[in-house]
Every structure is written in structure tokens, then in C-alpha cells.
Amino acid sequence: MSAHEPFQRAMAVVDLGAIERNCSHLKLGLQGNAELCAVVKSNGYGHGMAECAEAAMRGGASRLAVATATEAFELRSRLPEAPILVMGALTGAELDVAMQARAEIAVWRMGFLAEISERAAMFGFRPRVHVKYDTGMGRLGDRDPRVIEALVDDAAADERVELGGLWTHFATADEDDESFLREQLQRFREVAVPAKERHRGITLHAANSAATLRGADFHFDMVRCGVAIYGLDPFGEDASSHGLQPAMSLHGYLAEVKAALAGDSVGYGRTWTAESDTLVGVIPVGYGDGYRRGLSNRADVLVDGHRVPGVGTISMDNLTVDLGPGSEIEMGAPVVLLGAQGEDEIAAEELAERLGTINYEITCGISLRVPRAYRR
Ligand SMILES: *Cc1c(COP(=O)(O)O)cnc(C)c1O
């Protein structure tokens, strides 16, 4: 074995310092006293929920948001004091879990508000509710401004709950054309501004990362940033142009280096055949680790500070690369599949583009088989 035999086959390194810095940077860009809510759903976009939540709070986030009751419950066990908002829909059983976690809850139906109110007495605490207005996302929330106004006033009048917020979510904040985004903003303002006049303490919030970066018009009292806190570009281009630094890198190693003679094929289905004699490296990382099969014959990896092309079909546990004829790269050499090595870098945005998807799905998809190592 070579001098640099790695400790284990694959590892996702998460730079918590980067998350902390990304949050301070986002926070500094907010208007007035707007709060930063760090969105840590889906295991912190694959980065690790609780660790990222703690880093975000060190960086100036004052609130956290998740999608599910179970996520809130897990997060509560690590962060006993932090305000946690559950943004998603909840079944009755999930509502109980969210209440146990002392989470803040999204509401857009009278019946659900009544259910929260009834159960609140049982749990002996006064849950904060956030009324969700569907201004055009067409997903959760109610579209009727009068229903929203009534919910806001009812929640405020109900002793057993606390009116925490009024909020919406944008469908096209990441697109160049702002027209629909502005329409949604206008609809939200028409209900939100008078609601704030009636209920001074209410938190108005609308922006995801993309809207947050577009400017103060979208900030209101709080922004909900997910992708940007992990140093990913919500516009799918270049995170550094927004002063953000990617937090996750994915590491493997060359477990095998072997000669492929002209005409030799590699991997399932023989989708790649050596045109001339070359050396092939085998990296024990595959789609079982979240390195997607759709990247077969399409993505590069970094070895020895340089790009080499992935060749052949990516399998569940292995992928193969063409090291080139006469390569002196040794077995055991460290490989970077996502992130920087030497002068070069493979960004989540690059892999997403090759797959026809978004950077969110790249980091979210790194499976739990890959251990996360945290660095500060
Ligand atoms: C996931 C999510 C966010 C965060 O979106 P990013 O684009 O990752 O910043 C904000 N609000 C809601 C309702 C979400 O579901």
C-alpha cells in the first residue's frame, strides 16, 4: 500500500466555519433589524442538521426552520432554547411531536388552528403559529386574502396560541425575470402591512436565499435562508460572486490502478472502451453514496490536483476514472469528487449542470453511508 492510504473509503467534510461566515455575511446584508432564520431541513441540505444549526447561530442566525416535526424534535434535543419553525404540513400525530419539540407551527386552515389550540392546553404551552399565505407558489397556504386575514385575527385572539408570524414563499425568486416575483410580493404586502398594523409583534417573512440576495424589498422582519448558508448559489452559478463559500466537500481515494489496453471496457454495460492503452483508477464511491449514476461518463474528479474524467457506468459502490497513459498517480491517492484540490474545484453547481438538476439536490443526495467530518 502507498504512503497515503486513507482512513476510510469516503468522507464528506463539512466546513462549519464556512457556514458561520456565510451566515454573518448574509446577516450583514439584511435591512434594518431583519432576522436571519437558517433553514436546516433535510439534514441541513445533507451537511448535518444540528451541527449546521449551531454554526449558523454562531454566525448570527437567530432562528431555525425545518420541514418536518421529526426534524424539529431532533433539533430540539441539541438546541434546547433556539426558536424552531416547522414549515411543512403536519398530520395530527406529527402536530403532537412538533408541540413536544416546542416548535412554531405553520397554519393555513381554521380547522388546524382549532386543533393546535385544543392540543396546546394538553401540552401546557402556548405555541407560536405562523399563518401561511399562498401568494402564487400554489403549494401550502391559502390563496384567499380574506381567509388569511381571518386566520391572523383569530390566532391573535386565541389565548391558547400566540400569533407568531405571517408568511409566504416565492416560486421564481431564482429566475432572471422578476415579474411574477414582484406580483407575489405585492399580494403579500397588501395583506401583511395592515396585519402588522393590527398586530405589532408579528414577524413577517417571505424570502428564501435567492430573494434575500435580491435586496431589501424582500427582507421584511426575517428571511429564511437555506442553500446560501451552505455556500451554494441559489441562482445555480457561482457562490463566490455573492461572497459565499461552499461548506461541503466529498472525498474518496484510488483503491485500484490498473492498465486498460486499447479495446478494454470498464464497468456495467461496457459504456466506455479504452481507445488506446491507458491507466484506469477505481474509486470506491458510487450512487449508493449519492454520487449519482447520471454522472456516468459526464463528470470529472480531482486527483493529484488535476481533473481526470470519470469513465464507464457509475455503480452502487464504485466508479472508474481514466488517469491517462503513463500516469504516475499511485494507488491510495486522495480523490476529491466535490470541492477543491490543488488549484481546481468541482462545485455542486457543476455536477448539477451535468445532471440537469440543481445544486440543492447534489448535497442533499450524499447518502448517510458517507460519514460527515466537521471542521471549523
Ligand atoms: C426550503 C425552504 C426555504 C429555503 O430555501 P433556499 O432556497 O434554500 O434558501 C425557505 N422557505 C421555505 C418555505 C422552504 O421550504
Give the phi and the psi of residue 334 in degrees, each rounded to 5.
Answer: -70, 145
Which ranges of the chain have pLDDT less than 70? 1-6
Q: Is 141 close to ligand 1, i.e. is its CB under 6 Å away?
A: no
What ligand 1 atom has the least distance to the C-alpha of 174? 7
Angle of helix 49-58 versus helix 69-78 axis, rounded to 10: 60
Q: How far is the CA of 161 from the centre of ligand 1 (A)?
A: 25
Question: What are the residue ranges of CATH 2.40.37.10 in the chain?
Answer: 248-375
CB 252 within 8 A of CB 283: yes
Residues 313-342 have pLDDT tens digits of 999 999 999 999 999 999 999 999 999 999
What local confidence, expressed as pLDDT, does residue 5 receive?
60
Q: How far is the CA of 216 from the centre of ligand 1 (A)?
A: 17
Q: Is 37 close to ligand 1, i.e. is its CB under 6 Å away?
A: no
Q: Is 234 close to ligand 1, i.e. is its CB under 6 Å away?
A: yes
What local confidence, expressed as pLDDT, does residue 77 receive?
98
- Radius of gyration of the chain from its Cα atoms, rounded to whole angstroms: 24
CB 115 within 8 A of CB 95: yes
What ligand 1 atom has the least distance to the C-alpha of 227? 8
> How far apart, in whole angstroms, are the C-alpha atoms of residue 285 and residue 332?
14
Is 374 known to be catalytic? no
Three-class secondary structure of residue 123 per DSSP: helix
Supply the DSSP string of 286-341, one letter for each residue.
Answer: -GGGT--GGGTTT-EEEETTEEEEEES---SS-EEEE--TT--PPTT-EEEEEEEE
Supply the DSSP string of 140-152, one letter for each residue.
Answer: SSB--HHHHHHHH
What local confidence, expressed as pLDDT, does residue 2 receive?
45
CATH, range 248-375: 2.40.37.10
C-alpha cell at position 121: 392546553
CB 121 within 8 A of CB 160: yes
9-31 burial code (b ≥16 CB/10 A, e <16) = bbbbbbbbbbbbbbbbbbbebbe
Is 268 known to be catalytic? yes
> How far apart, in whole angstroms, are the C-alpha atoms of residue 46 and residue 44?
5
What local confidence, expressed as pLDDT, does residue 7 receive?
79
CA angle 115, 95, 120 (to 5 degrees): 50
For atom 10 of ligand 1, the residue with the nearest CA is 208
CATH architecture of 31-235: Alpha-Beta Barrel (3.20)
Query: Which residues lie closer than 8 Å to 42 by C-beta, 6 or more apart?
Result: 67, 71, 364
Mutate to test the pocket of ligand 1, among 85, 219, 224, 363 (most ligand atoms within 8 A of CB): 224
Question: What are the residue ranges of CATH 3.20.20.10 in the chain?
Answer: 31-235
C-alpha cell at position 87: 414549515
Note the Cα 110 to chain centre separation in Å: 31
